[in-house]
Every structure is written in C-alpha cells, then in structure tokens.
Chain A
Amino acid sequence: ETGVTQTPRHLVMGMTNKKSLKCEQHLGHNAMYWYKQSAKKPLELMFVYNFKEQTENNSVPSRFSPECPNSSHLFLHLHTLQPEDSALYLCASSPTGTGGDTIYFGEGSWLTVV
C-alpha cells in the first residue's frame, strides 16, 4: 500500500471508446502527476498538477485529457486512442511540487488499446 490508489488496474479499450483512469492519494499531498511507462522505454512525464492547477503538459496528444478536481484526486480521460498508447500509466503524488519533494507512485493502470 503506497498511499496512492489507481483504478482500474487493467483496462482494455477499443480505439473509438472513451474511458477514464482514476487516481486517489491519501497522503495529504498537493502535487499529482501522470507518467507513462512503455516497454523498453523510460518513464515519461505526461502532466503535473500543483494545488489543482496544471503546471506541466509534456507535449501530450489531446486524446489524453487530465482532470484534477481537488488535491486528492486525478483523472486521465482517454478518447480515440491508438494501439501504441498501450502502456502502464502511473499516477504519483508529492507534498508540494517543488524541489525537495520525494515522489510516491501508485501501482499503475495497465492499458491495452485494441
């Protein structure tokens, strides 16, 4: 139990579907992140939210749409994805979003696009 919970753990979706990934952190942190982990590639930062405001979008295609309604919850809305988007999507949180933080990861949501 890392304090960062992601649902669903596994998701299979068609290219025309709309689905969402959910993340909830129970650590009282104010920064939340989405990372993508593909086979044989480094973890890639997608989005950062500090105090519910998006502070970084790492050139992510618009078919990925994040939402942060409060400091404890983060969503990743998925629409018209491609098979190459199949990956492990990791949510993370940290206390403040500034230097000095340690980032804590959830166990990830395995996404398969068919």
Chain B
Amino acid sequence: GQNIDQPTEMTATEGAIVQINCTYQTSGFNGLFWYQQHAGEAPTFLSYNVLDGLEEKGRFSSFLSRSKGYSYLLLKELQMKDSASYLCAVRDPRGYSTLTFGKGTMLLVSP
C-alpha cells in the first residue's frame, strides 16, 4: 500500500515564502506530483519529480529525496491567488499512470 502525509492547513503572508512538506511510504517509487486546487475548481498540475533534487518553475519549486521518502513544494513571493489546496501524489509503482493522493494542504495567504 501507499501512505502519504502532508499538513492539513498552513497560513502565510503575501510576499513571503512557504514550504509545504509531504512524506510518503510506498512499496516502490515511480514519481511524485504536486497539484494545486482552488475551491470548486479542477486540480491543476504544478510539478513532477522522479529524481532527487530541486525542480524550479517560476515562483514554485519542488524538491525530492527518495531515500527519505520526502518532498516539499516551495512557493515564493506569495500572492493572494495562491490561496488553495496543494495536493501531493505518488504515481503507481507498477509503472501505470494512476496517482495516489495525500489529503492536501490548505494554504491561506493573508494580506
């Protein structure tokens, strides 16, 4: 089975930096995804990591350590529109495309 843990809620201030952590225990590993989901909207793809290290994409970066079963999503220069739920997910280790999700971290950005 697969188990994914992430904090339930986080708060931060506009312009600040926030790090959302995700830990996972899986029987194998085939990649980790981060999605953003605004209330009432579709989850949208943010980032993908399959090798150790940092992937940077504009204001968002994602880090992976496979040996520690750990990832984080780093959001810089926070904006009000970044208030959303951030979902950590791992791909099926059998090589299929299906994803197993964590419960999501609700981020509230305040002025």
User: A residues within 8 Å of B by Cβ?
Assistant: 2, 4, 31, 33, 40-43, 45, 48, 55-56, 90, 94, 96-108
Q: Which chain B residues have a beta carbon within 8 Å of chain A's beta carbons?
A: 4, 30-31, 33, 35, 40-45, 48, 87, 89, 91-92, 95-104
**Which residue of the partner chain A has the closest CB to B104?**
A42
B96 lies within 8 A of A97 (CB): yes
How many residue pairs at the A-B interface have CB separations less than 8 Å?
Answer: 61
Q: A41-B103, A42-B103 are in contact. Are A98 and B97 (CB under 8 A)?
A: yes
Separation of A99 and B98 alpha carbons in the complex (Å)? 8
Contact indicator A42/B42 (Cβ below 8 Å): no
Contacts of A101 in B (CB 8 A): 97
Contact yes or no, B87 A56, CB < 8 A? no
Asked if residues B98 and A45 are in contact (CB atoms below 8 Å), the reply is yes
Q: Which residues of A have CB within 8 Å of B87?
A: 43
Give the CA-CA distance A43 to B102 in the complex, in Å. 8
The CA of A35 and the CA of B76, in the complex, are separated in Å by: 30
Q: Which chain A residues border B41 with CB–CB below 8 Å?
A: 107
| Complex: A33 Cα to B35 Cα, angstroms | 16
- Tell me whether A31 and B97 are in contact (CB under 8 A): yes
Which chain A residue shows the least CB distance to B102? A42
CB–CB A42/B95 < 8 A: no
A33 to chain B, nearest CB (A): 7
Closest to B4 in A: A42
Instruction: Chain A residues near B98: list those with CB within 8 A.
Output: 33, 45, 48, 56
